[in-house]
Amino acid sequence: MKLVIIGGVAGGATAAARARRISEEAEITIVERGPYVSYANCGLPYHISGDIQKRSRLLLQTPEGFDSRYAVKVLTETEALEIDRASRQVRVRGPQGEWRLPYDKLILAQGGRPIVPVIAGADGPNVFTIWTVPDMDRINEHIEKKKPSSAVIAGGGFIGLEMAEAFTRRGIPTTVVELTPRLMPNLDADLGFMIAQRLQARGVNVITGKGITAVHGASAEVELTDGTRVPGALVLLAVGVRPETRLAEAAGLALGETRAVLVDRTMQTSDPDIYAVGDMVEVVHRVLGRNVRMPLAGPANRQGRVAASNALGLPMRYAGALGTSVVKIFDAAASSTGLSESAARAAGLDAGAAVVVKEHHAGYYPGAHELYLKLVYDRGTGKVLGAEAFGEEGVEKRIDVIATALAAGMTLQQVAELDLAYAPPFSSANDPVNMAAFVGLNDVTGFSPTITAASLRRLREAGRSGGAPLILDVRTLNEFETSHVKGALHVPLDELRFRREEIPRGKPIVLYCRSGYRAHLALRILKENGFSDVRNVTGGFLSIVAEGGFELEEGGLD
Ligand code: FAD
C-alpha cells in the first residue's frame, strides 16, 4: 500500500503520523515544496513579536524525525506538479530533478496561498505576506537590517491583528487598514469596536472602510482608496487566503460552491483514491448545514486524521466545523464559535442574542476582569447558534463551552442547566455562560424580552418617520450626563417605582442601563405595572456604543 501525501504541515503531517499508527505496512511519503515539514505556522507572529524567542521551537518535526519515529519518507523542496489519475502517479520535481511517484491512495494537504492584491508597488522589496517560515525569516531580516520606521498591515483579520501586535512589540509604529467597516469582519460590529479600541489603546493606528491602492516604496508610504497616504516603510498584506486548488483542478477533481475542493464526510474527493484536507477544501458548517471554507488549524488537523484513517481502510467521518477561533490582542482576546448575530440574520434565521457583561471570576476575588459574552440563539426553537466574547481572562473557556453545546445541538434551557466548575478564583456561581442562557431564556419566554443594539439601530433607522420606540435610560444621573442616547427619557431604576406615571403608555419602550441587568429589573417593574411592549437592550449602553450608528449626547436634559 503506497500512501502519498502532498503538503507536510498541519493536515499533511497529521495524516502521515496517523497513517503510520494504523499500519506498519504502508509505504508513506510526504511531498513538501518548502524547506520545512510540520512547522507551527500559527506560531510565526509570536517569533516576530519576540514571545517565542527560539526559532527552532517552531519546527515541530524534521524529515529525519519523521523517518526515525514514523518511518515516513519526507521529500522537502519537492513540488508536486501533476496528478495522473489514470496511472495513479504524481509527477514531482525536487533537488534531483523530475520523477513520478506511484500511489494507491493520495492525500492532498496543500493548504492555501495568501492573496496578493493587484496594486502598484505590491512586488516591492518592503512588501511581505506571512504564511511560511521563510516568509517569517524575510520579515525578521528586513526589520533587523532596514529598521523600518513604520508599518502598514492591509487586512484586519486575525493574522493582521497578530502581526500588528508583533510589529508594535518590535517598536514599529503600525497602521492596520481594513476594507470593511470593522476589524475581524467575521465577528459582529460590537466585537470589532472593542478590538479596535484595544489596538488603539496600545498605539496601533486603525483605519476601517478603506483599502490600500498603492505602495510607494520611495517615500515609504501606502496610498488608500480615498487618496490619503499613511507611513508604511514595511507593508504586510494579510487580506486573506485562497485554497491551493491548481493540481486538483487540473486533475479534474470536483470543486464546490466556494471554489475549494469538494470532499465528502470521509474527506474523499470525487476520485475514491484521493482525499483532501485543510485550507484547500470546503466542509460542512455544523450550524448552517452548508459547505463553507474554514481555513483554521484545528479542522485541518482533525481532517488529516479522518482522511488517513479512511485511506487505510479504517472508516471515520468528519463531523463538520464550527469555526471556533480565538485571537490575542495584546492583553485581551476575542473568540467566537458558530454563527455571529449578523451571520445568523444573513442566513435568514430569526436570531436573538443575549449579551452578558460580567467579571470572569467572582468580583470580590482580586484580579477580576470584565468579560463581554454574546450568545446567539434561534428565537423560535431556543437552539444555540453561536457565541462571541471579548475580554482579558477566561474568554476562550466560555467559547469552548458553547462550542461543545453547539456540537451537541443544545438549547438555551440546556445551556442554562450546565453544571460548570466554580470557585471564586475561577468563575462565579452563575458562570457567564449560564447567565447568557438565562438572559436568552427570559427573552424567548417573554419574561424579559430583549433587543440587540444592532436590531434597535435598524428599528430606529426604519422608524425615523414615526413609530420608533421610546428609549428609557435607567442608569444614574451621573452616568446619564456622561453620555446617553439622544432623545432618551431618563428615569433611574431606583426612582422608577415612584415615577412610572412619567412614562407614556401605549408606545413601545426600549430600556437600557450600562450592561443590561438594571434594565432587566426596570423592565420587570414596568411589566408588573401593565406596560406590555417593553424590551431591554441586551449588553446595554456598552453594546449601543460598540454597535455604533446611534446619536449620543453628553450633559443633562434642558
Ligand atoms: P498548510 O499548513 O498551509 O500546509 C500546506 C503545505 O502544502 C505547505 O507547506 C505547502 O508548501 C505545501 N504544498 C502546497 N502545494 C504543494 C505542492 N504542489 N507540492 C508540494 N507541497 C505543496 N489557525 C488557527 O486555527 N489558529 C491560529 O492561531 C492560526 N494562526 C495562524 C497564523 C499564521 C501566520 C498563519 C499563516 C496561519 C494561521 N492559522 C491559524 C491557519 C492555519 O495555520 C491553517 O489553517 C493550517 O495550517 C492549514 O493546514 P493545511 O495542512 O491545510 O495547510
At residue 557 the predicted structure's pLDDT band, cuts being 50, 70 and 90, is low
Q: Which three cell numbers stand for residue 58?
A: 517552531
User: Per-residue confidence at 271, pLDDT binned at 50, 70, 90?
Assistant: very high
pLDDT of residue 380 exceeding 80:
yes
Separation between Cα atoms, residue 271 and residue 414, nearest integer Å: 42
The predicted model scores a pTM of 0.95
**Model pLDDT, residue 556:** 64
Nearest alpha carbon, ligand 1 atom 12:
7
The pLDDT value given to residue 466: 63
Number of residues written out for the chain: 558
Helix (H) or strand (E) holding 489: strand 489-490
Summarised one tens digit per residue, pLDDT across range 480-506 is: 999 999 999 999 999 999 999 999 998
pLDDT in tens, 20-70: 999 999 999 999 999 999 999 999 999 999 999 999 999 988 999 999 999
Is the torsion defined by CA of 262, 266, 267, 268 positive or negative? Answer: negative
pLDDT for res 336: 98
Q: Which atom of ligand 1 is nearest to the CA of 296?
A: 45
The C-alpha cell of 447 is what?
Answer: 419574561
Protein residue whose Cα sits closest to atom 29 of ligand 1: 42
Q: Cα of 302 to ligand 1 centre, how many Å? A: 14
Which atom of ligand 1 has the smallest separation from the CA of 11? 51
- Cα-to-centroid distance, 299 and ligand 1 (Å): 11
Statement: residue 88 has pLDDT above 60: yes
Please, where are the H alpha helices in 272-372? 297-311, 341-346
pLDDT of residue 460: 85
Instruction: Please name the residue whose Cα sits nearest to atom 31 of ligand 1.
Output: 42
The DSSP code for 196 is: H
**513 counts as catalytic:** no
In tens, the pLDDT along 150-190 reads: 999 999 999 999 999 999 999 999 999 999 999 999 999 99
Confidence band, pLDDT 50/70/90 cuts, at residue 465: low
Average pLDDT over residues 460-465: 74
**Predicted local confidence at residue 464, as pLDDT:** 64
Q: How much is the pLDDT for 229?
A: 97
Compute the distance from residue 330 Cα to the ligand 1 centre, in Å. 24
Out of 30, 33, 81, 129, give the residue to mutate to test ligand 1, the one with the largest number of ligand atoms within 8 Å of its CB: 33
- Ligand 1 within 6 A of CB of 9: yes
Confidence band, pLDDT 50/70/90 cuts, at residue 97: very high
| Closest residue by CA, ligand 1 atom 53 | 111
The pLDDT of residue 190: 97
The closest-lying atom of ligand 1 relative to the alpha carbon of residue 36 is 9
Identify the residue whose C-alpha is closest to ligand 1 atom 41: 296
Instruction: Name the active-site residue from 1, 22, 40, 42.
Output: 42
For the CA atoms of the chain, what is the radius of gyration?
A: 26
459 pocket-lining for ligand 1 (C-beta < 6 Å): no
Tens digit of pLDDT for each residue in 19-30?
A: 999 999 999 999
Q: How much is the mean pLDDT over the chain?
A: 96
- pLDDT value at position 400? 98
DSSP letters spanning 241-261: EEE--HHHHHTT--B-TTSSE
DSSP E strands: which ranges in 277-343?
281-284, 291-293, 325-329, 332-338
The mean per-residue pLDDT over the stretch 340-369 comes to 95
The band of 533, judged by pLDDT with boundaries at 50, 70 and 90, is very high
